[in-house]
Each structure stands twice: as structure tokens, then as C-alpha cells.
């Protein structure tokens, strides 16, 4: 059986399988029922690895082992595999979440915090900077920044970015508002995202930037995160941001933001058709 390498690569990403696993699985799908030896020959996976791979696929819910001798393996219908994998992911995520939750009261967390506290003493403020790759990682970092905000949060984003931020950061915005954090959000307001802007206005002063473009966040006049690429022209996995801690730079950006803030259109005056 010959399967296109590109197709195998897509399957690996979708189902989080290694190369041998995806080769053996697709080989079994093409046969329905087969032995480990047959699958080794079809898939070009070393016989010494085939049993381990089949055991792994069985645990992940992709196949079942047929009773009797010789030992054979049965392929499951792909629709059923998807449902099994989804359920396994949920169970695995719940178990990991519980494990991490228990860590909060564990001495291990105390030791980790001790390491961080001691290490941070030797870092110059100008060294607190980094590159963040991938939109999900960017939103995870933004969530942390907003959760730690004490005074204010200034956010400039794109029309699509406004909708994404409501989905990813709504809880952080709500909690920040309760703490008294002053949140300002500027983005192009369109008919497509007007309802999102209206929802966000419960926690923030939302204004339309009209023809201004950009994506950045300033927290408490000392932390910044700015995105380097146009989100309309880049895949989320390849989006890139720079985060840094700098009172001087943050204050400069805040003053520039405030200078333009009065030119932005308050949500109450935005006209959408």
C-alpha cells in the first residue's frame, strides 16, 4: 500500500501520531484485519517495532486486538476513531488538570516559586523580554498579563482580533474590571464585530480606531506586547509577538495611545449598517 507522504503528515498532526503509528494505522485500514507481520511488510515499519506500535494504537483507541491465534488486529471505522480519540483527550485533559490543581497546595510549588524568586533577583529589567510564537501562546501570555494587571490595560487590535479576544480573554477582562483595572480597547468596529464590541463594553471602554491599524497591549505602563505581523496574512501558528518589561518604552507608547484615544469613535457613536 502506498500512501501519499503529505496525507500521512496531515494525519500525524490531526491525530498526534508519530510516523510509524500513522503508517501502521493506515496499513491496517487498507486491510481491515491483519497480523503484525503483515502490517510490518505493508507499512515498511521494522517488525521489532510493530507490536509496540500496535499496542500504542490500541491504547489510543484506533484499533482493537482480535481474540485467537495468530494474533490479529482489527481496524475501527474512522468515525468511531474520532469519537474515541475525542473522549480520550477529554479524560486525559481532566486528569492533567486535576494533577496541576493539586500542585497548588503541594510543597513542590513552593520550591518552584523559591527557584523563580531567587533567579529573578539577578535579572536586569531590560532582560525581561522575549519572542512568543503561535497565536495560542500569545493569548496565554496576554491572559497572564491581564490577570496580573493592577491599574490599567490598553489594547489595540484588529477587527478579527477583537472577536478572538472576547473568546480567549473574557474571563480575564471580567476579573480585571472587578479589581478596578481601567481597560481601554481600540479596534475597527464593523457590522461583523459590533455585537462583540458591545459585549466587551461591559468591562472596557471600547472605541473604533477607524483607519488606524496595529496590534499591541500595554499593562500598567510597564509591560508591553506587540504583534509583528498582519493577522489577515499569517496563519495563527506562525503569528509572532514580542513581550518586554520596560517602564520607559511602555510610558512612551501609553502617551502615544492617549494622544490618539480622543480621536477614536466611542462605541455609542459608531454607526453600523
The model's pLDDT over 23-33, given as tens digits with 9 standing for 90+, comes to 999 999 988 88
Mean pLDDT of 239-244: 90
Q: Which of 151, 204, 212 is nearest to 179 (CA)?
A: 151
- May I ask the CATH architecture of the domain 5-80? Orthogonal Bundle (1.10)
pLDDT number for residue 152? 94
pTM equals 0.60
Picking from 45-49, 118-122, 197-201, which range would have the lowest pLDDT averaged per residue?
118-122
Q: Are 173 and 196 in contact (CB under 8 A)?
A: no
pLDDT band at 273 (very low <50, low <70, confident <90, very high): low
Mean pLDDT of the residues in the chain? 86
Percentage of the chain modeled with pLDDT above 70? 91
Mean pLDDT of 41-59: 90
Q: Are 176 and 234 in contact (CB under 8 A)?
A: no
More confident residue, 118 or 188: 188
pLDDT at 210 over 80: no
pLDDT band at 19 (very low <50, low <70, confident <90, very high): very high
Percentage of the chain modeled with pLDDT above 90? 36
Taking the CB of residue 49, how many other CB atoms lie within 10 A of it?
A: 13
CATH class of 128-269: alpha beta
Domain boundaries, the chain: 5-80, 128-269
Give 236's DSSP letter. Answer: G
pLDDT number for residue 64? 86
Mean pLDDT of 153-177: 92
Task: List, in sequence order, the alpha helices (H) in the chain.
Answer: 5-15, 19-31, 36-43, 47-59, 78-103, 107-120, 135-147, 159-178, 194-200, 247-261
Mean pLDDT of 41-66: 89
256 contacts: CB under 8 Å, gap ≥ 6: none
Q: Cell numbers 491572559 correspond to what residue?
A: 143
pLDDT number for residue 119? 54
The model's pLDDT over 135-148, given as tens digits with 9 standing for 90+, comes to 989 999 999 899 98
pLDDT band at 2 (very low <50, low <70, confident <90, very high): low
The model's pLDDT over 70-126, given as tens digits with 9 standing for 90+, comes to 888 888 888 888 888 888 888 888 888 888 887 777 777 777 776 666 654 555 555
53 contacts: CB under 8 Å, gap ≥ 6: 20, 21, 24, 45
Mean pLDDT of 264-273: 83
The model's pLDDT over 217-236, given as tens digits with 9 standing for 90+, comes to 999 998 899 999 999 888 89
Mean pLDDT of 152-172: 91
Amino acid at each position: 500500500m502506498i500512501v501519499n507522504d503529505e496525507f500521512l503528515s496531515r494525519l500525524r498532526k490531526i491525530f498526534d501520531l508519530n510516523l510509524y503509528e500513522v503508517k501502521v494505522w493506515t496499513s491496517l485500514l487498507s486491510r481491515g484485519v491483519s497480523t503484525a507481520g503483515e502490517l510490518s511488510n505493508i507499512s515498511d515499519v521494522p517488525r521489532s517495532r510493530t507490536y509496540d506500535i500496535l499496542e500504542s494504537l490500541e491504547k489510543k483507541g484506533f484499533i482493537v486486538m482480535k481474540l485467537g491465534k495468530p494474533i490479529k488486529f482489527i481496524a475501527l471505522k474512522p468515525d468511531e476513531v474520532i469519537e474515541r480519540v475525542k473522549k480520550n483527550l477529554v479524560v486525559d485533559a481532566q486528569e492533567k488538570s486535576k494533577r496541576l490543581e493539586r500542585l497548588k497546595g503541594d510543597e513542590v510549588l513552593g520550591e518552584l516559586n523559591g527557584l523563580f524568586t531567587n533567579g529573578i533577583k539577578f535579572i536586569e529589567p531590560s532582560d525581561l523580554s522575549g519572542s512568543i510564537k503561535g497565536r495560542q501562546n500569545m493569548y496565554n501570555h496576554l491572559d497572564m498579563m491581564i490577570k496580573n494587571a493592577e491599574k490599567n490595560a490598553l489594547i489595540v487590535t484588529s477587527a478579527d482580533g477583537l472577536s478572538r479576544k472576547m473568546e480567549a480573554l473574557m474571563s480575564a477582562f471580567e476579573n480585571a474590571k472587578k479589581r478596578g483595572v481601567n481597560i481601554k480597547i481600540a479596534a475597527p468596529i464593523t457590522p461583523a464585530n459590533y455585537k462583540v464590541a458591545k459585549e466587551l463594553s461591559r468591562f472596557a471602554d471600547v472605541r473604533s480606531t477607524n483607519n488606524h491599524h496595529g496590534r499591541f497591549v500595554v499593562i500598567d505602563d510597564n509591560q508591553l506586547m506587540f504583534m509583528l505581523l498582519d493577522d489577515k496574512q499569517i496563519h495563527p501558528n506562525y503569528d509572532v509577538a514580542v513581550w518586554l518589561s520596560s517602564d520607559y518604552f511602555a510610558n512612551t507608547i501609553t502617551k502615544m495611545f492617549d494622544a490618539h484615544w480622543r480621536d477614536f469613535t466611542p462605541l455609542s457613536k459608531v454607526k453600523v449598517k
